[in-house]
């Protein structure tokens, strides 16, 4: 995480992933195959852009 790292909503992450469904994203989270996230006090999930980018890079490296 950087000092100015952006927090993304789940919708923004899904859009970045090219329209992956919300259910698929949460299934990935259930099995530990999604980027790390933080839960806000209101219960909403946010993903740091740096975590999303690192996760995507790990997928590229594994491919």
Q: What is the pLDDT of residues 34-53, one digit of tens each?
A: 999 999 999 999 999 999 99
| CA separation for the pair 46, 37 (Å, rounded) | 6
Q: For residue 11, what pLDDT band results from cuts at 50, 70 and 90? A: very high
Q: For residue 62, what pLDDT band results from cuts at 50, 70 and 90? A: confident
Q: For residue 3, what pLDDT band results from cuts at 50, 70 and 90? A: low
What is the predicted pLDDT for the residue at 4? Answer: 79
Work out whether strand 38-39 and strand 45-48 pair parallel, antiparallel, or are unpaired: antiparallel
| CA separation for the pair 42, 46 (Å, rounded) | 11
Entry field: residues in the chain: 63
Q: What is the arithmetic mean of pLDDT over 21-26?
A: 96
Residue where the block lists tokens 């980027």 = 35
């Amino acid at each position: 995480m950087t000092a100015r790292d952006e927090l993304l909503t789940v919708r923004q992450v899904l859009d970045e992933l090219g329209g992956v469904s919300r259910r698929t994203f949460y299934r990935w989270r259930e099995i530990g195959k999604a980027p790390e996230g933080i839960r806000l006090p209101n219960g909403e999930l946010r993903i740091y852009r740096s975590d999303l980018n690192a996760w995507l890079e790990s997928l590229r490296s594994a491919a």
